Structures are given as structure tokens and as C-alpha cells.
Chain A
Amino acid sequence: NAGVTQTPKFQVLKTGQSMTLQCAQDMNHEYMSWYRQDPGMGLRLIHYSVGAGITDQGEVPNGYNVSRSTTEDFPLRLLSAAPSQTSVYFCASSWTGSTGELFFGEGSRLTVL
């Protein structure tokens, strides 16, 4: 049982490049979400999904896109990377939205030069 798997673990981008952070879970969770973690800021919600075909914005959605075509996968796309998007990104999933514990991946560390 792998849980929540994020790839890549590390990535360096140049300003303006695009990329996709992958997130997959094998627990049949309906709820999936993306957070970014910055020093002194805690975790901030970027986007979330309550099921396949349904996505919504969180606290800091600008510059990021998501889609949810399957229950298992929830990729996060950076359209045109900026240095302000240098961060550690975490994907998390849950059985339900507001009542379940979140299961986190190990994180993807992104540096934008």
C-alpha cells in the first residue's frame, strides 16, 4: 500500500518554464488537495478536489492549474514558473472532505531560478 506518491521529489526550473507535479493515491480517497509550505508561513492550500471531475480553488491558487480526471490522480501544473513559486509542495488525500484525516505525500521541493 503506497499511500500518497508525489513525483518528482526535487526539481529546478527557470523562470517562465512550465511543469507538472504528479500526485497519485491508492486508497480510493475522494478528497485530494495541494499545499505549499514556505518558512514561517505554514501550509497554504492551493487547490482541492472532492471527486473526479470536480476541483476548486484554495487560499493561493494563482499561477497553478489542476485537473481530476480519475479518483487516483491529481496533478498540479505550474503554467509559467516564477521565483515566488519556489517552495515545498505537498499533496494530501482523505476519505472525505471536512471530516477525515489527511494523508500526505513526502513532498516535492521546487526551486525556480
Chain B
Amino acid sequence: SQQGEEDPQALSIQEGENATMNCSYKTSINNLQWYRQNSGRGLVHLILIRSNEREKHSGRLRVTLDTSKKSSSLLITASRAADTASYFCATDLTHGNQFYFGTGTSLTVIP
């Protein structure tokens, strides 16, 4: 069974608005990462947050992690049409070298 689940499955917003997507997972983790995938392309790493961190920023991205609720959120501020993509969370478990990906959130930013 999959470790991570994102919601919503799809999100459509106007350019300039903020986009928030959530990830829930099932078991204890070392780290949680967010990736972006443009249509027909491979995944690209966005940001990594460690299990002992609660919040992390990178440019227009803000990630939070709540290990008590086993959940994370990715906020993209001031969205652009170029942010249109699918976004995935990935977790690696405390006992192994395996990364588990969620089902992804498809974000559409309308110009």
C-alpha cells in the first residue's frame, strides 16, 4: 500500500493566487520531499524537510510538516502559469532506503 496520499487530486487557480496541497502518510519517516512533474517529463526535486523540522522555505515554496498528524503541506505563493504541473510528496521510512510517492496533485494555473 502507498505511504503517501496527496489532496486535492486536482487544483485549478488563477495566476497570482496561492496554491496549497496536502500530503498524508502512514508510518514514521526520516524525511519528506516534494517533487514536481511537468507533463511527459521526469520528476524534479523541489524541497526536502527532515522529520525534526516543522517548516521550510525555498523561494515561493513553503513546506510544513506535522509528524504528530503524519501530514505535510506545500504552499506555492503568487502562482504563475509555469507552475502548472503535478506535485508529489515522497517519504522515506526510518528503517530503509525506500522512497514512497503519493498519487500527486495536478495543479493548473490559469493565466
Contacts and interface: CB of A to CB of B under 8 A. Distances in A.
B59 interface: no
| Range for the number of chain B residues in contact with chain A | 20 to 34
Nearest to A41: B103
Nearest to B33: A101
Contacts of A92: 43
A42 B101 contact: yes
A42 B88 contact: yes
Nearest to B44: A104
A19 to B, nearest CB: 20
B104 A99 contact: no
A43 interface: yes
Given A42-B2, A42-B103, A101 B42 contact: no
Interface of A: 4, 31, 33, 35, 40-45, 48, 50, 56, 58-59, 90, 92, 97-99, 101-107
- The DSSP consensus for interface residues of chain B is strand
B76 to A, nearest CB: 18
Interface of B: 2, 4, 30-31, 33, 35, 40-45, 48, 88, 90, 92-93, 96-104
Contacts of B4: 42
Contacts of A106: 41-42
B88 A101 contact: no
B43 A102 contact: yes
Contacts of A58: 98
A99 B102 CA distance: 18
A45 B42 contact: no
